[in-house]
Amino acid sequence: MEMRVAAGRWTPLLLLATLLLASNLVSGSHFRYGTISWRPIDTGDAIDAGLDITSVDFDNLARHTVAFEFKAAYRRNYEWGKFFREQWRLPAGPNEENTQPWQDGGSCYTKDSCSVEVPATGSQNYQMFISEEEAIAAGSDIGERSYLEWQIKLAVGRSYYELNVTGPNINNEFSDTRRPCVSPFDTGDKPICLGTDPSGTVNSYPAGYYPVTQIDPTTNRPVPYDATYPNFVNADTVPCEKVDNADPDYCSPWSQTYGFFFGDNDDNGYPTSTDVVLTITDTNFEVTNVGNYLLGTSSFYHTYRKNGVPTKKKEDFTPWTAYFTGGNRLTYTTERLINNHQGRFRLELTVNLNYPGEVIGKQGYVPNNSPVMTALPVLPVPYTGRSEISANGMLATFQVAGFDPDIDIKAYQGSKLESNEKVYYYLGSPRKMGMLLANQVPDMKYPSRWNREDYEAARKECYQRSCAPTGADAAPFVLVGTGTPGKGATRDGSNAIPAGTNLTLGNNFTDLANGFPLFTYEGTCSECANGDRTCTSLRLLVDGFTTETPLNFTCERYKPWDNKLNLAHQPERLYLDRYSGVVQWETGINPRDVDNATYLTDFWNHRDSGDVSNTKYAKRLAAKGTQPSPEQEPLQPGFYNVVFDVRSYSHDPDCHLKVYDAATLGSISPHTGKAFTLPAPGNGGLYTEAQCKAVDDENMIDIAYVSVPLDFLLFLYPPASWCSKSKCRNTQAGITTFRDEGFYGTQNDVNVLSTGSCTICGGGEWNLYDVSAAGLTDKQLNLTDYTVCLQDDDCKYDFDTVAITPAIEADICKRNTPPKWVDQASAGNDDGNTPTPRLADRPTWSTLRVVPSDPTSALASDPFIDGVPIENVYPGLALFLGQRSSEVRFNLTAVDEDDCVEMQILPIGLFMGYTMYTMTEDGLTKGTQACTYKDATKDRNCIYNMKLELIRRIGTTNQFYRTFIWKANDTLPQIQDPRPPNVIVCFIPFDNYQIGVRRCVNIILSKDQALFWVDARPKLRELFLSENERNDAFEEIVSKCGLSVTGPNLKHYENPCEYTPADLTTFYISPGQTLEFYMTAMQDSGNPPIGIYISEGGTMRANGTVGPPEGATFEYLEYDDKSGKTHLRDPAKRRFTWTPKEGQQCKYVLCFIGNNTRELEESIEFTSTFFWTRPFVPIPALLDERCYTIVVADQQLDMQAGSFVDAAAALPSLTSDCGMTFSMWFYPEGTTTMSLATFGYTKPGETDNIVYMLEWDPVTAVVFHDGITVQDLGQYYRLKFSTGQSYIIQTDAEFCVNEWHFLTFTIAPNGNFVLYLDGVETTHYSDDDRDFHVVAVETGSMPVVDGKVEIIGDILNNNPGYTGFLRIGSFDAVQTFNGMIGDVRIYSRVLTAEEIGAKQFVPLTATSEVGLEAYYKFNDGSQADNTLGNPQGNFNKYRAQPPASADPDCNLAGDTFCNNDVRDAPEGPFGSEMKAKGQSVTDLSGNNNHAIGCDDANCRKESTMYFVFGPSPITPPCPQETSPDVVHVDGGTPIAISGIGFARSQWLKCSFSMSDGSIKVIKAVHSDNSTIICANPGSPDLTVSALEVTNGGVNFFTNFQIPIYMMERVVSFPETGGKVTIKDACDMIGTNLFSMGAWVYPLSQSSSALEDVISLIGMTSNDQTGLLSVRYDGVRFVVHEKIGNTETALGESPDAPAHNMGEGSGWHYVMLSGNTDRLVLYMDGESTELTATSISLSTCDLELGTTTTGRKAFFGYVEEMSAFSGFLNACDSYQIMWGN
């Protein structure tokens, strides 16, 4: 980029010292920042507001009383108390009212006006709020230097006085300045009564009245004399005074007035006002440009009245306008305020008291509050050139910080997305900036020239003194439009303005015809050749003496009046997005160099105007990428004043309920000078409610919104740089900046933490040298000084011979970068970092919209230029999901990658408890606040206040964090939590030089509330579409469903809209088809986000979560609110889509749940399943699990009584070139001869000609008769093939009906013909289980012509007029087929016997087949093919019919059914639901040789043909359950296997894996398509066998395996009690020498009582009952003895977990051994010494378990019980445990 020095368009003065003596100049040196907000008072404010709570009028007064919150920052070491009646006082004691006396420095002239006056000890009794260091330097007592809670009074007055009445003078004339002037240009001064008016004519006006001569420079209208002023006659005339003076007479001018004014009048008609008592909350002692301030707040109250009656606003369409003004702004010469220097500041806001949630009666109300703003008193902004992107995008960028504390009352019931209302940001108008500037020439030279006329008159005088010959006129200075030098302004008394004149601010309209020209002198300075004559002087204080230094006149220094420069104005080239508050500022590269780079339009996108014909727009699009622009001079460094007008919706119903008469009420905004937006045409003068809510319309009338000001300073500086911490010592002080004196990284306090000291080596401030001077270095200009870094061996610098290269320079002196957020690793995963934005939560607009402050800006010339990409400055809402009545807590973590850091993390708009409302038990707002304002703000004891903990550093890193906390009352029911359920709070990171990107967090508080699946239940409509609570999102969903979704004549097999399917719905689908359904859920509250998850039955993924089956997707589809603002997430909609592949045929059960929060799926835990009970009863909707069955099944073609499918499209490809192969699966059901497939053609006008026909032919039964008995050998069938020439070949007659068969025939080019039946397999099983060999192949030859056989394709190709047919199924009404047809394959080549056998049981993959011309699987059926209808896809939907009484009231407990006979769907597949007549059959070969089902016109009318769900031998079966699943190793147990896809096939078999790796195959018995039976083959040892099933004999489908446990038998003890007794055990073993043990498998996890496992029970020698027992307590085994009624615990084993209780659970070996001295318990090989038993049983039984009353039964298994009459040691026990 070319760099050159900018032209000398501004030249700062280098001044040694300046002290200004005029009071109104000093007053301008201390204001830094201010904002005001307001709120209606609460009960805690009543006494402070001076209201009598016992008064009958209390409620009315309270509803019209406002609490104002004033925040401001002023220069700290200003001479407080010297001017303008300012006072201060010490703080009060803890919890005390401040009664300390007020003190002043001599500016308080009367005791009455200044409260308590403390006599000054001298003229220098000013309060300087000095620091500790300053106190030490001055030799004074250090004392208290924090100044927290000190108070400053900012009084109401004019100059040194109150606004009051003075006089009478000698002419009995009074001055009344109790009213501030209405117009900023009104001086309040009466003209002198001369007897003639200013035009020189005889006075023709009423005695003592003159025409108004003061002109408003923004409109060039005369300033009207207001009706509230004394002696008002009309707006065009003003009373005069007999003794002329410059003092105001009838109002206090803006240039002199100070104080806070409420906007209404007192009982005497005078404006109400108040002194502002500012309590200091922060003191900054840094004597730097951005420090050295006092920050304070003030709260005060006012009851608004009109004519003594409390009222919420001034007029129907006019709110109250309140404002604070208190002096002038900074100067230009000494304090470098570039714009608005020495201007008046005015914090103006509107007040309109409305209660949008008002409830008539005693329930209370919810008031509307104003927005609340905050800012740093001085915001540093670094220069950022066009080619350099700042932290937030292009140009220097920052964001205005504010929020609206209003909580929409409806949000508690969930009818809004966000609880807090939106705010909109505008640049303040000149009026709201204070309008007037002092216009002192030179700067700080008294007097101030507030008005244009005064300024121009002084400028003319200056010209005369400097340039004109003595006594001569001021030629060539000419009053604009007069043509005569020095003539001056004249009037003829008329103040008419031509109709239609555009009177916007800055308009240069001049009405010469009516005698008031634009009062501006213009001309050249040619007569001032050298500029060497004195125009004015500069007053300086040098060595304690005041001197007047002459200044020569230049036109550059004393320019003609320009409204854009001589009235308050925003900084140049400033752009604002009204929706986000993002500000962009085109500053230039640095203070010296011109920026001639192109705009990066990748960052300045173009917004479509909607008019594609717009040539300007089209041109812009063509230029996308870079945007050429003129060279841009840099802005001056230093301070800039910026004022924002921030608005929110007023909720004033009058806006749209009352007629607006523009003729009477006005059509021009007094703030902007622009035309108001008027009511929509044809609406009878009424605004629409939408217009009134359009706060983003800048020109909407004032009553539609409330506005507050934000006034603060920007400090423009060259970006700062630090010396490298790794290369430089950083012990030498570097460049002094606006906030630091040579070092950075040293500030540490409760709000700021630092990482260590770095030397400042560049930027940070600008030394005020004249830039036109030649030869100034970067070091001299404070841009860069690398030498301060060169302090050690790593940073050497030879000033004589070596120059630092740019690469090394950049490595040594590093540019400051803004801080950034440290995001969570994934959105919603709380890992201690900052909540992360989700892309779906970003606004839908792509770029920021900008409003230029300067309409002449290059960027302002094209309305289609937008700002930076939205994600750069507003990356989307981060989401925090919380719970009602539970604390919210998260960290805000930021990092600064600089070597040194000073970090702050600042909040924007933390909600306080006074904006929240208590809730009833029904979840309705009571209208009373959760906390009073005093509790929330002053006493800070409101639990519901949001807060940030102090900043902390993470170890020694450059990362810092603050913890956000929002406490809750966890004893309240969730429905009564007063915290709003959906709010947005924002935060910014700040390193004391640059601000990072704002982060906004959307906090969602969910409750265990009604969460509904959106379906066709009628009560849902009643709930969400009632008159009071219409849910737009729900209405949008159901609008797609038609007016009715249930009814006696409707059968909803389909999903007509995006409804959630009914619980227990079953979907049938075939491979290759697509299943799609929606899971749509919404809450009664409307609080997003809702999560929808697969809870059970899906695929277990690697991260442990449950996901859709392989190949399926389950994706969120957000509802767009169509406004272009954001996405709605309630209702939540998630679409399940699956196209199963071949091999996935099975039954799947998937369950879904909805959750009140949307979480990462890996964090979801599904611990249990919740089903609806029967009959239906409501359960918590959070747990309303919807479970569906998805059956992936093949389809077959069912034909009866004369139907067929014609596959003629494939015939032309079957020629004698390569021969042909035809294969098909068929399932015959008839008992007569049936055609299977017929090939032929039809000649024009003739009947059908058969070429080949395949038939299934019964054979006459063979009967044996010996004269005594008759034996029928059964019905046999054979496959028969014939040609048109009656050539017949057939198989042996030995095949059966009602099972699947596979036929194939091939014809070779040489005429060889082979017929296959059931492939090449030579073994099969007959009904009587006899094995026998089948001759499956019979061969022959076809007629050959000229060496080749003529195949059907040859006939058709050689005879173009012939029409071919291939009828699969019936040939005609006589030769019909009854049964099912499966896979049909047609090849244009001859397959070998090996190929046929290999493909017989395998679905084909068309891309790997050679010569495959057609492939029909008949998976084409769906309910959509019928009037039943399923418009969403080609799947079928089924629903079991619930009992009619399940939902007698049609409430929300059921699904889509209501108490009638209309069922939601059929209960399951049925034969006639998917018609095939006339339907297309898809060719899967890829050749598009699709077949077509016959219709009633070409097949037998009474015939039927349907697609049906059913398996064939090529279908992979899916076994799912077995009964039993545990069988004995001996074998022989019948095992019933249930699942889907079991074909009635002669090859149906089961396989069992053995422990030795072998496989045993067992023939299966077919019960139906979902159940088969196989016998357990037995196993040589214990094993877990993998059971598999095949329909095709050899191709076992390993995707679906079921474990079969082959085990020995064990004793199972039920939980209800069971016992095995070994009688007279003591005859074999005794209690004095014994061992008894067993394998034990506990199932109980309860420790409530001991379970008896092994016991010896009998009688002792003294006839007492005795018991020695091993028991189980749910965790371990314990041993007890009992003699008589005395029971003693003898000891216990180590932990022995029960079933499913973690590591080590399951089987345990337990043995108890004892003798007269010892008792030992062995458990799993470990021994535990017990207390020796004292029991001795003479007779006893050994019991396993128990059924005895009073003793708890053992629950579990016992195996391998053994007992010994001897004491066994540990080794013995171990050997026996393992069977040795």
Q: Which residues neighbour 1721 within 8 Å (Cβ) at sequence distance 6 or greater?
A: 1670, 1677, 1679, 1691, 1692, 1693, 1710, 1711, 1712, 1727, 1728, 1730
Query: How much is the pLDDT for 1274?
Result: 61
- The strand ranges marked E within 1576-1685 are 1583-1590, 1602-1607, 1611-1613, 1618-1622, 1634-1642, 1651-1660, 1665-1672, 1676-1683
Q: What three-state secondary structure class fits 1098?
A: coil
Size of the chain, expressed as the number of residues it contains: 1780
Q: What is the mean pLDDT of residues 1412-1420?
A: 96
β-bridge partners, 1762: 1637
Give the amino acid at 610.
Answer: G
Least confident interval from 484-498, 1515-1529, 1645-1659: 484-498
Say if residues 383 and 389 touch (Cβ distance below 8 Å).
Answer: no
φ, ψ dihedrals at 524, nearest 5°: -105, 170
Query: How much is the pLDDT for 1224?
Result: 97
Whether the per-residue pLDDT at 1527 is higher than 60: the answer is yes
Q: Which two tokens stand for residue 1739?
A: 């007779």
Residue identified by tokens 């854009």 is 564
Say if residues 399 and 575 touch (Cβ distance below 8 Å).
Answer: no
β-bridge partners, 176: 165
Q: Which of 565, 567, 713, 562 is nearest to 644 (CA)?
A: 713
- SS3 of the chain: helix, strand, coil, percent, to 5: 10, 35, 55
Query: How much is the pLDDT for 607?
Result: 33
**pLDDT tens per residue across span 67-77:** 999 999 998 88
User: How far is Cα 1262 from Cα 1139, in angstroms, rounded to an integer?
Assistant: 51
User: How far is Cα 1448 from Cα 1779, in angstroms, rounded to an integer?
Assistant: 64
Q: Which two tokens stand for residue 397?
A: 């960028």
**pLDDT tens per residue across span 1151-1200:** 888 876 666 655 554 433 333 332 333 334 345 678 888 999 999 999 99
**pLDDT tens per residue across span 1065-1093:** 889 999 999 998 888 888 765 556 677 88
Whether the per-residue pLDDT at 441 is higher than 70: the answer is yes
Say if residues 1063 and 1150 touch (Cβ distance below 8 Å).
Answer: no
User: How far is Cα 1536 from Cα 1524, in angstroms, rounded to an integer?
Assistant: 7
Whether the per-residue pLDDT at 1021 is higher than 70: the answer is no
Q: Which of 822, 825, 819 is nearest to 834 (CA)?
A: 822
**pLDDT tens per residue across span 357-403:** 664 333 345 688 899 998 888 999 999 887 776 554 557 888 888 88
Q: Which two tokens stand for residue 1088?
A: 């997003």
Say if residues 1221 and 1426 touch (Cβ distance below 8 Å).
Answer: no
User: How far is Cα 771 from Cα 590, in angstroms, rounded to an integer?
Assistant: 12
User: How far is Cα 867 from Cα 885, in angstroms, rounded to an integer?
Assistant: 41
* Cis ω for the linkage preceding 1442 (within 30 of 0): no
Q: What is the mean pLDDT of residues 132-153?
A: 75
Q: What is the mean pLDDT of residues 593-620?
A: 44
Whether the per-residue pLDDT at 551 is higher than 70: the answer is no
Q: Which of 575, 571, 570, 600 is nearest to 385 (CA)?
A: 600
**pLDDT tens per residue across span 336-360:** 899 999 899 999 999 999 887 664 3
Tell me the CB-side half-sphere exposure of residue 812, using CA atoms within 13 A: 25
Give the amino acid at 1214.
Answer: L
Query: How much is the pLDDT for 860?
Result: 39
Give the amino acid at 618.
Answer: A
Torsion of CA 72, 74, 76, 81, to 10 degrees: -100
Q: What is the mean pLDDT of residues 53-79?
A: 88
Give the amino acid at 1565.
Answer: V
Task: Give the helix/strand (H/E) hosting 708.
Answer: strand 705-717
Q: Which of 1316, 1384, 1307, 1395 is nearest to 1353 (CA)?
A: 1307
Whether the per-residue pLDDT at 865 is higher than 50: the answer is no
Q: Which residues neighbour 413 within 8 Å (Cβ) at sequence distance 6 or greater?
A: 923, 924, 1029, 1084, 1085, 1086
Distance of CA 1295 to the CA centre of its chain: 68
Query: How much is the pLDDT for 1044?
Result: 42
Whether the per-residue pLDDT at 797 is higher than 90: the answer is no
Q: Which of 1672, 1662, 1769 is nearest to 1714 (CA)?
A: 1769
Beta sheet of 1436-1438, edge-to-edge order? 1091-1096, 1147-1155, 1186-1192, 1066-1069, 1436-1438
Say if residues 198 and 213 touch (Cβ distance below 8 Å).
Answer: yes
Q: Which of 84, 148, 100 is nearest to 327 (CA)?
A: 84
Q: Which of 565, 630, 571 is nearest to 597 (CA)?
A: 630
**What proportion of the chain, given as a percentage, has pLDDT over 90?**
28
Q: Which of 1277, 1279, 1291 is nearest to 1232 (CA)?
A: 1277
Q: Which of 1248, 1212, 1539, 1255 is nearest to 1369 (CA)?
A: 1255
Q: Which residues neighbour 1663 within 8 Å (Cβ) at sequence distance 6 or greater?
A: none
Q: Which of 1262, 1290, 1291 is nearest to 1274 (CA)?
A: 1262
Question: 10 Å Cβ neighbour count for 890?
Answer: 21
**pLDDT tens per residue across span 1250-1263:** 999 999 988 876 55
Q: Where does the pLDDT of residue 819 fall: very low under 50, low under 70, confident under 90, or very high at 90 and above?
A: very high
Q: Which two tokens stand for residue 1487?
A: 């050749």
Query: How much is the pLDDT for 1735?
Result: 80
**1076-1085 burial code (b ≥16 CB/10 A, e <16):** bbbbbbbbbb
β-bridge partners, 420: 407
Query: How much is the pLDDT for 1631?
Result: 67
Whether the per-residue pLDDT at 476 is higher than 50: the answer is no
Mean pLDDT across the chain: 76
